[in-house]
Structure 1
Amino acid sequence: MKVHHIPFQETRYFSNLIGDYLDESSNLGQFYGNFPNMEGFKKQLELKRSSFGESSREILVKSLIRQYNSLNKSGLTEKNISSLTEESTFTITTGHQLNIFTGPLYFLYKIVSTINLTKQLAIQFPQYNFVPVYWMATEDHDFDEINYFNFKGKKVVWDRESSGAVGRLKTDGFDTIFKAFSEELGNSNNANSIKKIFESAYLKHTNLTDATRYLVNVLFGEYGLVIIDGDDAALKKEFGPIVKDELLNNTSYSEVSKTSKKLAENYSIQVNPREINLFYLKGNLRERIIYENNEYKINNTSIIFSKEEILNEVTNFPERFSPNVIMRPLYQEIILPNLCYIGGGGELAYWFQLKDYFSKLNTPFPILLLRNSVLLISEKQLVKLNKLKVTLQELFYKQEMLINKKVKEVSDIKIDFSEQRLFLQEQFLDLKELAKRTDKSFIGAVNAQEQKQLNGLDNLEKRLLKAQKRKLADIVTRIEFIQNQLFPNQSLEERTRNFSEIYLELGIDLIPMLLDALQPLKLEFTVVEY
């Protein structure tokens, strides 16, 4: 295995906002707290240590023990859960939707980044304990985003009706998926391992929460990962005062709107807050809470509460109140002794909108860390790239740009009219000087003629390039083939491909390889040769 690193900005797959964050641009300084480096973690430890109490730790540990009740924990996971009662223990957290069979590859990269960061921090700060946490987005209701995964260019889909929180969905219909997926996998040893994992997760558990918890525990339990479900009455009770504040004062709307307005001066806004950023969650129901005419109404239902009634509901049934994307981060930071959240570019974008909201509620804002992004490239693929003289950096070019560059490099004809353009522009400089000494109105005609001839050169160059592409069709086809393999649908592999494709090749070596390769604080894109 060899590991290469490319600056995120050079891949051209990440936003200006993320680029500015990684560069610690002054444009973003007010929208986050400590930066993800060792000095930042030192400050964050002091900040969080003074704000997370003993009773919160006890509630957290009891909830985790209950959530793990029917699951076989590794010794390290059990140790990590127990250690959370100690004031010297802190968490590093990532979160994700309950995509079936993990969804895209970056699901794994998030968790590996989280585990590896806890290892780095343990070396740097040996007086503390660091626990990797995966937050299951069990209360999410965007079923269409999680009901499939891609395998060898085909979608494997869980086709069913859905309502309410996805974590509560029954795993009906997975026997059909399992049968179809098994036929695609084949019968190798690695294929049979994948089938066993899938079958045990989805055919032997009754809801998506339990299935996902089992799956993630199988993949990462031995590395001490702690999996948490926020859909928990005891944990929601801890969040109750914030829920009441939201219902009465619309604090998140007020604060996030102000921050978003400032952020929008330089960047696109990821999410827009509602006046009340809570859902009402009961059974298969998860609907927005709306305040109208001095009443609290549950959207698309006939359920209505008075002010007194809804506050009593929060007190008696805190589990019925579900934070949306604006409030979920705060909920996480209230119930965990958390130092850092690890997420993708889109996630970090909306976290930047929340800093003032956290400050308003006297809650430490966590360090934000861009997860590791990875391109996995096999030895065979690397040999092909070397024969085509395509570098790893060039692989990230848009396909047309890459092909044009390579055709120009290998062509026996120079496909570059830069010298001709320069010569033409020099000739027209003389004409412009002549126009100035005669009739200044003539300059416009000279400029127009110059542009016409420059456009003509551009068209001739494009036609020559097109002709050379036809002549060098074999090279063009090979470049297209290898790049399409590594960048399916002209996108990053990690955003579409499922881990099972790589597992077929590498089997149980896949996750150890990733753990060896990924450096979360490197803050660069990772290319792994295997």
Structure 2
Amino acid sequence: MEWKSTNLTYRQTGYFSRLITDYLDEAENLSPFYSYPANAEGLRSALEARKAGKPVDRATLVSQLEEQYAGIADAFGDAPKVRENIASLARPNTFTLCTAHQPAIFTGHLYFVYKILHTIRLAEWMAEQYPEHHFVPVFYMGSEDADLEELGQIALGGEHLVWETKQSGAVGRMSTKGLDKLYHRIDGELSVQPYGRQLMALLKEAYLESPDIQTATFKMVHRLFAEWGLLVLIADKAAFKKQMIAVFEDDLFRQEPSRIVGESIDRLSKSYDIQANPRNINLFYLKDDLRGRIEKVGDDYKVHGSALAFTEAGIREELHRFPERFSPNVILRGLFQETILPNLAFIGGGGETAYWLELKGLFDHYRTPFPVLVLRSSFQLVEKQWMEKMERAGFGVEDLFRDEQDLMTELVKRDSTQTLSLEEEIAVANQYYESLKALARPVDPTLEEHVAALQVKAIEPIRLLEKKLLKAEKRKFGDQQRQIHQVKEALFPGGNLQERVENILPWYALHGPGIIKQLYAHSPVWGGFVVLVES
């Protein structure tokens, strides 16, 4: 089935912060916080900077990816572009474009899919512009995140389904045990749809036949996007962490990252809300089912939530012997990503873009190229029935994002046969009081203020009457009000953007791979807010 698209600006939707809209408008006060603008010229500059900058350890990157993909049966059987892209990373003329997300179960929110497709589209565009180079889309899995409360649930049919598990630590390392209950709950609802059986087979392979969440997510993303050559990267490896030892030592022993990012935040916070704040130490200790914050207490380094403690010499030895046991938080994660990848652009949401703007000073300090920050595409999926209801009420696509009461006010004023505006009466009253001012002024100029006060008191009840007339008339339009409310509830669950609440599974069960292909086809290279209406 085809979908019809309408592109809106992020500002039109009313759901994006001033920081983000200012960034998109290239506001001058934000220019110190990024290296290159999110446009064609910015990516050209980023490409030149990467070519001239410090080299990436491509041999390690390729070997780790090959080892990772060897764990998936027939990983390249129907995905020759994946094999080709891995091999190409060994060559100095290959660069990546990257998005990132934690391993939320069953892909989490809809924007999980949107950001990946945007990354694929941007990589393809770069390949068209620079045919002498090779560009690889990468999904960097934040498998070390420990926020199970966020990552262990999905919304389905208006219900929040929660993975009941007592595991702790990095979510990516957690066993998939217990997900079978959620699988069967989902199966009962989705398997009756046209592509439900196909979807459930995919979920079974990914989540019920994998030892841990990061492997399950890896399989799921690979099966959905391998045809476009997307590489999934699990960076929770000693070989990658080893490349960050010098930075981790700076963080542990000198707190340099905290100081640098703190200075950027001081400047940024004068105009905007801050997305992420650094700690003195921005590392977690990661081992088995533990991911505990490292804190310096006196002369020792303690792991929050455990009895573990190290001397300075002890934690230094631990870092050099077991770098995989050290996990960067949000302040250092981006630097880690850009250290191990020959990357040009990071495609992220509003929150991600906001915290990346805090980090440029950190990249400058460690002489690491700062990527172009591209705000990911957003979509609003609108089923045919909802658009038809809006059109019957006399509204179009752009009106979907307007306040419900504003829509009803316009509808009633437009369709009512009654006089609901008292602007003429208010104008007459204002004229009357202006004439009184003219009479009073020559007698005593101070009386003009008295008349002005009387004018305000007289106009106020007329305005109140106008509101009551409109409210009373709205009751006659009950059917239209119920329809508009129904549409708003369906498309903006809980008053939020659909993409921040819903999951891709029901859409896939109904439309199959076609929904992914439609999203791909309509994903703008440079981002935007796209309303996709079922036709």
Instruction: Report the TM-score, using the length of structure 2 for normalisation.
Output: 0.95
Partner of 1:468, secondary structure, is helix
Alpha carbons of structure 1 residues 436 and 330: separation in structure 2 relative to 1, 3 Å: farther
Shift of 1:526: 0.8
Partner of 2:330, secondary structure, is coil
Superposed counterparts of 1:214-363, under 5 Å: 214-363=219-368
Alpha-carbon separation, structure 1, partners of 2:269 and 2:433? 44
Across the aligned residues of Structure 1 and Structure 2, the Cα RMSD in angstroms comes to 1.6
Question: Would you say the 8 A contact 1:136–1:229 is kept in 2?
Answer: yes
Stretches (4+) displaced over 6 A = none
Structure 1: which amino acid aligns with 2:455?
E
Deviations 1:393-433 (A, max 9, x none): 11101222222222222222243333333333333333344
Alpha-carbon separation, structure 1, partners of 2:367 and 2:427? 62
Question: Would you say the 8 A contact 1:239–1:335 is kept in 2?
Answer: no
Which of these residues, 397, 412, 416, is aligned with residue 411 of structure 1? Answer: 416
Superposed counterparts of 1:75-474, under 5 Å: 75-439=80-444, 442-474=447-479
Superposed counterparts of 1:471-482, under 5 Å: 471-482=476-487
Alpha-carbon separation, structure 2, partners of 1:414 and 1:502? 45
Alpha carbons of structure 1 residues 354 and 432: separation in structure 2 relative to 1, 3 Å: farther
Gaps of 5+ in 2: none
Alpha-carbon separation, structure 1, partners of 2:436 and 2:357? 55
Alpha carbons of structure 1 residues 26 and 421: separation in structure 2 relative to 1, 3 Å: farther
In structure 2, the partner of 1:526 is 530
Question: Would you say the 8 A contact 2:117–2:523 is kept in 1?
Answer: yes
Task: State which drifts further: 208-217 or 459-468.
Answer: 459-468
Alpha carbons of structure 1 residues 410 and 61: separation in structure 2 relative to 1, 3 Å: same
In structure 2, the partner of 1:68 is 69
Partner of 1:384, secondary structure, is helix
Alpha-carbon separation, structure 2, partners of 1:304 and 1:115? 44
Deviations 1:412-460 (A, max 9, x none): 2243333333333333333344454445554554343333333312321
Partner of 2:292, secondary structure, is strand
Alpha-carbon separation, structure 2, partners of 1:453 and 1:272? 52
Task: State which drifts further: 174-183 or 326-335.
Answer: 174-183
Partner of 1:279, secondary structure, is strand
In structure 2, the partner of 1:486 is 491
Q: Percent identity?
A: 38
Shift of 1:528: 1.6
Alpha-carbon separation, structure 2, partners of 1:410 and 1:316? 75
Alpha-carbon separation, structure 2, partners of 1:200 and 1:164? 24
Deviations 1:169-210 (A, max 9, x none): 111111111111111224233111121122111111121111
In structure 1, the partner of 2:34 is 32
Alpha carbons of structure 1 residues 504 and 409: separation in structure 2 relative to 1, 3 Å: farther
Alpha-carbon separation, structure 2, partners of 1:251 and 1:39? 32
In structure 2, the partner of 1:498 is 503
For this pair of structures, how many residues does the alignment match? 528
Question: Would you say the 8 A contact 1:167–1:207 is kept in 2?
Answer: yes
Question: Would you say the 8 A contact 2:187–2:200 is kept in 1?
Answer: yes
Structure 2: which amino acid aligns with 1:426?
Q
Partner of 2:233, secondary structure, is strand
Alpha-carbon separation, structure 1, partners of 2:262 and 2:435? 57
Structure 2: which amino acid aligns with 1:513?
Q
Alpha-carbon separation, structure 2, partners of 1:278 and 1:268? 24
Shift of 1:313: 1.2
Question: Would you say the 8 A contact 1:398–1:490 is kept in 2?
Answer: no
Alpha-carbon separation, structure 1, partners of 2:437 and 2:176? 76
Task: State which drifts further: 504-513 or 445-454.
Answer: 445-454
Shift of 1:508: 1.6
Alpha-carbon separation, structure 2, partners of 1:446 and 1:196? 78
Question: Would you say the 8 A contact 1:373–1:494 is kept in 2?
Answer: yes
Structure 1: which amino acid aligns with 2:431?
E
Alpha-carbon separation, structure 1, partners of 2:531 and 2:124? 21
Structure 2: which amino acid aligns with 1:31?
F
Alpha-carbon separation, structure 1, partners of 2:367 and 2:289? 34
Alpha carbons of structure 1 residues 517 and 313: separation in structure 2 relative to 1, 3 Å: same
Alpha-carbon separation, structure 1, partners of 2:479 and 2:415? 12
Question: Would you say the 8 A contact 2:376–2:528 is kept in 1?
Answer: no
Alpha-carbon separation, structure 1, partners of 2:167 and 2:412? 50
> Is residue 13 from structure 1 mapped to residue 18 from structure 2 by the alignment?
no
Partner of 2:512, secondary structure, is helix
Question: Would you say the 8 A contact 2:437–2:448 is kept in 1?
Answer: yes
Deviations 1:337-371 (A, max 9, x none): 01000011011011111111111111111100000
Structure 1: which amino acid aligns with 2:37?
F
Structure 2: which amino acid aligns with 1:457?
I
Structure 2: which amino acid aligns with 1:32?
Y
Alpha-carbon separation, structure 2, partners of 1:237 and 1:140? 19
Structure 2: which amino acid aligns with 1:304?
A
Question: Would you say the 8 A contact 1:52–1:337 is kept in 2?
Answer: no
Gaps of 5+ in 1: none
Alpha-carbon separation, structure 2, partners of 1:354 and 1:525? 26
Shift of 1:382: 2.7
Alpha-carbon separation, structure 1, partners of 2:458 and 2:19? 40
Instruction: Report the TM-score, using the length of structure 1 for normalisation.
Output: 0.96
Question: Would you say the 8 A contact 2:125–2:525 is kept in 1?
Answer: no
Shift of 1:17: 0.9
